Amino acid sequence: MGALDRDTAPTTLVEALHQFRGSDLHDLCETTELAVIDGGGFGWVEPPSRDMLERFWRGVLAAPGRSLLVGRLDGVIAGSAQLLRPPPNNEAQRFAAAIIMSFVAPWARGHGLARALLELAEKIARAEGFEVLTFDCRETQTAAMQLCLAMGFVHWGSNPVYAKVKGGLVTGHYYYKVLDPGTDGPSSSEPPQ
């Protein structure tokens, strides 16, 4: 990268958001709409109304067991992901957290935001003592699949009836990553206890 590139390259930042400031909520909604219109891949097929989106994101921020992570390009929210912890009743799976709803606005892609968001989710999960991270996505999300494999996730299975998009069924892929070096992952074919 030359001196000129360094001067013009956008600044990137990822963080766990605890409250919306300034234009954060507006920018997060706009980012969501653009990513959904571009093809989605993280739940919505059509962009919901702005009112519904605002209520959705306020709910995410307030929900227990969730961390809302955002990625900023030159200070503007341009991507997001969530770290989802298991509910208190799920004692058998309390060692595993999930990364859900990761996306970046089309105009902000290719600057490393998605990777940084997943790395932040992993860092928080490790700090909280989680041993495993899970992730899933539609088979059409090539970039997301490449990214999670590059980050050491293991593809363990696929569901041919994972999502329905514009009337057609789409296969989904499931991944896990072992965070605790003491947990080797599946090693036995013994029946579950």
Query: Which of 66, 54, 63, 64 minimizes the C-alpha distance to 20?
Result: 54
Q: For ligand COA, which residue of 29, 36, 144, 179 counts as binding (CB under 6 A)?
A: 144
Taking the mean position of all CA atoms in its chain, how far away is CA 7? 29
| SS3 (DSSP) at 22 | coil
Q: Name the minimum Å distance from CB 111 to ligand COA.
A: 6
Q: Residue 82 Cβ, how far from ligand COA at the closest point, in Å?
A: 10
* CB closer to ligand COA out of 109 and 126: 109
Contacts with 121 (C-beta within 8 Å, 6 or more apart), sequence order = 67, 69, 81, 82, 83, 99, 133
49-57, 88-96, 113-121, 126-134 -> range binding ligand COA (CB under 6 A): 113-121
Cα(90)–Cα(100) distance, integer angstroms: 18
Give the nearest distance from C-beta 81 to ligand COA in angstroms: 8
Q: Binding residue for ligand COA (CB under 6 A) from 28, 36, 97, 113?
A: 113
Please tell me the total number of residues recorded for the chain in this structure. 193
Q: How far is CA 58 from the centre of its chain?
A: 17
Closest CB to ligand COA among residues 87, 110: 110
Does the footprint of ligand COA cover residue 146 (CB under 6 A)? Answer: yes
35 binds ligand COA (CB under 6 A): yes
- Confirm if 132 and 179 have CB atoms less than 8 A apart: yes
Residues in contact with ligand COA by the rule CB under 6 A = 35, 41-42, 79, 101-104, 109-115, 137, 141-144, 146-147, 150
